[in-house]
Structures are given as structure tokens and as C-alpha cells.
Amino acid sequence: MIGAHNALITKIKTIRANALKSSDYDELLKKRSLSDVSSFLKKHPGYQDILSKVSENTINRSRLEGLIRRQKFNDLMRIIKFLKMKDQSFYLLSLLHQEHEVLLSMIRSFISSEVYDVVKDLPVYFNQYSKIDFEAIALTKNLAEFVEALKGTKYQEMLKSFRNIKNEDIKYYEFEALFENDYYDYAFTHIQKHYKGNRKKELEDVFKSKIEIENITKIYRLKKYYKVSNLEIKSTLIPTNRIGEEKLDQILKVEDPNQILNRIIEMGDKTFVGEHDQIYLEYFTDHMQYKIANKLMYYGTHPSMVFLGYMILSDLEVSNLIHLIEGIRYSVPESEIRTMMVF
């Protein structure tokens, strides 16, 4: 078993070795066009395969973002196909996350009225691990059709109460919260199933830390960008036993979302005191996740810990590139794009 564990850790770190490095991001931040970003990534070992047949002069934003996500799908699948251990179902958490990403992308397409080609952005072998009929959902144009196309999956039951909502009335954050709950329910169930003692506690602590960080980010975003009521925000949060309800209520009472971080620090939580003066709280919390993930990736002694670190770092790389692409699209200054990225 030790040999299998070491082999899996080696596999994960080998794939991670092709990730973008600080020097790569420094170069990317100098790019001021989508074609320049695409051209750079096309020559990078982490993306050259997926972009080899793509013309950097004709690729659009949504296509490039889709291919970046697909590359990360491919990398995850290389790890999943390597698994032979009894705790394999824990690692399949990554595939659940990918399912959620696809479903959320479809919901975003309903809101924006943009066509999203699900099938084109998926690895060909993803169907082997999912019950979703991706070709069917790709043809849907609203939630009613979407829910019907999810027949035979757990998602039809999860989403059936939303089926009559019109595209213009969709509240995206409600679906984010729904899938987050599904993700964490799966994680804790399979940690309970496969691990015990210190290993179980370590994994649970990582997920609880992620929940706390995401709860704080969610409060900030929903107050700042959506003007959602405190009661509605609270209904989207995932409770943990480390930040109690009283503390969450205090944070929710902060009227100015830009003062949330200061309020948390005033309450005595030094976890949120960082080395960087971040402009936006959600990017500050990304830095916290980056630190957690790096520790797991490079100091974890069990493959479950290393894999979890890899998953977080992979997601952050995708976020970095999307922030860069969006920043270029809207002519955001290089210095401001840099504050949105974590590396």
C-alpha cells in the first residue's frame, strides 16, 4: 500500500510540474491581447497539447477559457485513471466538482443568452464517469428544458424546484450554494467512510477551512455586487463548528462590504491577517487557499492530502487565467489584474 501511495503522490506532482510558474505569470501580465496570451500558452508544456491545433489569431475569449478548463479536466482524469486504491471514491470528488462546473456554465449561458458547447469542452472519456447526458443538456435553452435533460441523475431532483424560473429571473448564487452543499456533503461522507484518526481530522479541517473562507467571500460578494438581504445570504452559507452562528451574524451586520475583513480581524481571527494588502477581499481569501494548498501539495505525506492540494492549486490557476483574460478584455491596468491573481 505504501508503494501505491508513493506512486500516486509522484504522479500528482509530475502533472503539477507543468503548472504555470511565477515567471510565466510575469510574462503573461505583459500581454495586452487575447492572441498574445493564447500564443504564450500554446508554447507552454501545460497547455501546448490542448492548444496545438488552435489559431491564436481567431480564438475568442469563451473558447480559450473553455480550453483552459478542459486541459485541467484532462490532467485530473490522468490522475483518476491511475487510481487503484480502496479510497478511490474520495478522489472522485474532483469529478463531482467538474460536473458542477459544467452545470453552472450552462446556467450562466441561460443568463447571458450565450451558446455554450458543453460537449466540445469535455474530455471524450468524461462520459464514462458521469450519468449526465451532456449532448442533451447542450441543447437546452432554459431551466425547464435543462431539468428535463437531467433525467436519471440526482441533479433533476436537486433542481426541479427551479424549473419554472425564467432566464431573466435566475439568481446564479442560489445554484452556486446548492452545488457547494452537494460538494461538501460528498467530501465529508467519503472522509467518514475511508479515513479515521489523524488522517480523518486533517482532511476535515482542510474542508472546514475552505468552507469558512468561501463563506466570508460569499458574504462580501452578495453584499457588494448583488445587494442581497442578510437573511437570504445566511441561507446560502454552509455552517461549520469553528465560526459560530453568533460570529457569522456579526459579520452579516457589517453594512459596508469593504469593512468585512477589518471586522473579522477585530473579532480576533488572526487567520485573515495576510502578508499582502489586497484590494478585494475575495482575492485575499484566494491567497489563504493558496497557502493551504501549497502546504498540502508539498508537505502532505498521504496522497489524499496531496491530491486535495493539487485540486485547489489547479482551480486557482484557472481563476488566474480567467482574471487575466477578462482584465485584458476590459483594458484593466496590469497592476490591478495582478492583485486579482494568486501565485
Lookup: cell for 293: 494548498
Beta carbons of 262 and 322 less than 8 angstroms apart = no
Encode 51-72: b = buried (16+ Cβ within 10 Å), e = exposed: beebebeebeebbbbbbbbbbb
Beta carbons of 303 and 12 less than 8 angstroms apart = yes
Q: What is the pLDDT of residues 150-202, one digit of tens each?
A: 999 999 999 999 999 999 999 999 999 999 999 999 999 999 999 999 999 99
Q: What is the pLDDT of residues 1-39, one digit of tens each?
A: 678 889 999 999 999 999 999 999 999 999 999 999 999
Q: Mean pLDDT across the chain, nearest whole number? A: 89
Q: Measure Cα distances from 141 to 31, 120, 145 in Å.
A: 35, 17, 7
**The pLDDT of residue 181:** 96
Q: For residue 325, is pLDDT > 70?
A: yes
